[in-house]
Amino acid sequence: MGLGYRILPGLLIIPLLAAVFGCVSTAVKNREPSPDDVFRENVINYATTLLGKPYRNGAKGPDAFDCSGYVHYVYGRFGVAVPVSTEGLSRVGREVPREDVRRGDLAIFRIKGEHHVGIMINGLEFIHASKSKGVMIDSIDAPYWKKNFSHFRRIL
């Protein structure tokens, strides 16, 4: 028997193993969004309609906002009562680690002894009322925000 007859059985078994252990198609189940997911999506969608609104210290909307007023106003539109101060928002709900952050969670910052707050859009971006640019979207990993980051809070 030549070398080819000894290799052939080994070559025939490879496709069989591939079919059994990994190349067989499996049905992918599409997960229906939960009511919580839909609620969070609605909060973020509404929050983004306020992009570009100006910042004004102490303003609670709808024409201008400070950071806590913005969060209070957005959640208030959905019947969620949250504190109106950054200090209160920094303690409401429960703290969550970054790997568990979800849309709608709060991002809390500590800047020169004062709190600042925004609403997480995804695991990287948050929307907030900036003193310099009004309501806008920023990255949690931007150097300024990264160095002043305090923690995340879940209120939903």
Which phi-psi region, left, alpha or beta, contains residue 104 (left: φ > 0; alpha: ψ -120 to 50)?
left
Is 67's pLDDT higher than 80?
Answer: yes
pLDDT in the model for residue 2 = 53
What is the bridge-based pairing of β-strands 94-96 and 149-154? antiparallel
pLDDT in the model for residue 17 = 44
Looking at domain 33-154, its CATH architecture is Alpha-Beta Complex (3.90)
* Range from 35-39, 64-68, 132-136 carrying the lowest mean pLDDT: 35-39
Question: Are 140 and 63 a contacting pair, CB within 8 Å?
Answer: no
* Range from 5-9, 70-74, 108-112 carrying the lowest mean pLDDT: 5-9
Average pLDDT over residues 75-86: 96
Give the mean pLDDT of the chain: 87
Q: Which of 23, 1, 152, 135 is nearest to 68 (CA)?
A: 135
* Range from 25-34, 108-117, 139-148 carrying the lowest mean pLDDT: 25-34
Strand partners, 51: none
Q: pTM score, two decimals?
A: 0.80
Is 16's pLDDT higher than 80?
Answer: no
Written as six digits, the tokens of 37 are 């997911």
Q: How is residue 56 annotated by DSSP?
A: -
Rounded CA gap, 95 and 92, in Å? 9
Q: How is residue 152 annotated by DSSP?
A: E
**Active-site annotation, residues:** 67, 116, 128
